[in-house]
Amino acid sequence: MPQPSPPPPPRPASRRRDPAARTVVMLAFEGARLLDVTGPLEVFSVAARLGGRYEIRLCSPDGRPVTTASGARLAVDTDVPELSAHPLDTVLVPGAEELAQGRFPPGLLDAVRALAARSRRVASVCAGAFALAGAGLLDGRRATTHWRHTATLAARHPTLTVDPDALYVRDGDLFTSAGVCAGIDLALALVEADEGPDLAREVARDLVVFMQRPGGQSQFSVPARTPRPRHDALRALLDAIAADPAADHSNPALAARAGLSARHLTRLFRAHTGTTPAGYVEAVRLEAAQTLLANGETATATARRTGIGTDESLRRLFLRRLGVTPSAYRARFHTTIR
């Protein structure tokens, strides 16, 4: 007797929608960087588990599984046409090396436009900024991306103002972030904006990450992003500044230490570091202050130990360079690492 044909596989249960939940959509595509996808998704997933009102969707342009840059294959739960029929809260676009090279997977830019038209805000991770720019969303805006690609982004999209050193940048309802892990920083900032700092801090604790690096914080430390000068005297000065930021590093003191005139020293600094002696010293002192505050030091002691001087000088410096007060910075970092 002929064998009966097997029953069809069960249809997935229809997803129940919570009308009060914010729908967060990650748009995956062929060649996307895995951590660009999973890092921010983990932030929102943990936030939902801890009480945040989020509904998380992972989609691809056509609803098919995608293979990431690492070779890991991701099964998605929906496609763009299904999602673009509903109001969305947040759309996240990950990065891929191909995007920075001007190569976009089929349907990606149309998918970005369709989802953006239905969402409250759109965010990119790493080279995902190229997809936002390619879709026309960043015209006349400020943005950032991975440090390796900032010059390319600026050259390819001249109406775009690129911040080459920020961890993430907000311009209205558009958010862009730097490389890979900065996507986690951005996701934490979005959770904080939605649900408040307490929940965002709990998410950071759960993930054992900092809560959260301010967007204006540099992608690299000052010594790491400064080319090593070939001039021996200047190299010694940079080492001395990094070793003891609180010492007397005024222009006359540095010039005397190097056996150079103050004017010649300034020319050397500009040629080799791209900034003045005072600008370099300020950047190193700011980083030292960030470290001390993160370790629980008071603002008064931090200002004294870094050579910044007074509490008010420290406050003005933090607001000008990071957009946050020292007390707010200390609360974010110190609470997380306790």
Catalytic residues: 126
Residue 333 contacts residue 293 (beta carbons within 8 Å): yes
Q: Which residues contact 312 (CB under 8 A, 6 or more apart)?
A: none
Other beta carbons less than 10 A from residue 327's beta carbon = 14
Which amino acid is present at 234?
A: L
Q: List the beta bridge partners of residue 24.
A: 56, 90
* Separation of alpha carbons 291 and 247, rounded Å: 17
Residue type, position 312, single letter: E
Quickly tell me which residue has 């801090």 as its tokens: 201
In which region does residue 15 sit, left (phi positive, over 0), alpha (psi from -120 to 50) or beta (all else)?
beta
- Strands 22-27, 54-60: pairing is parallel
Strand partners, 166: 218
What is the DSSP-derived secondary structure letter of residue 261? -
CA 229 from chain center: how many Å? 29
Cβ–Cβ under 8 Å, residues 174 and 197: no
Q: Is the dihedral of CA 29, 35, 38, 40 positive or negative?
A: negative
Quote the crossing angle between the two packed helices 197-207 and 326-337, to the nearest 10°. 40
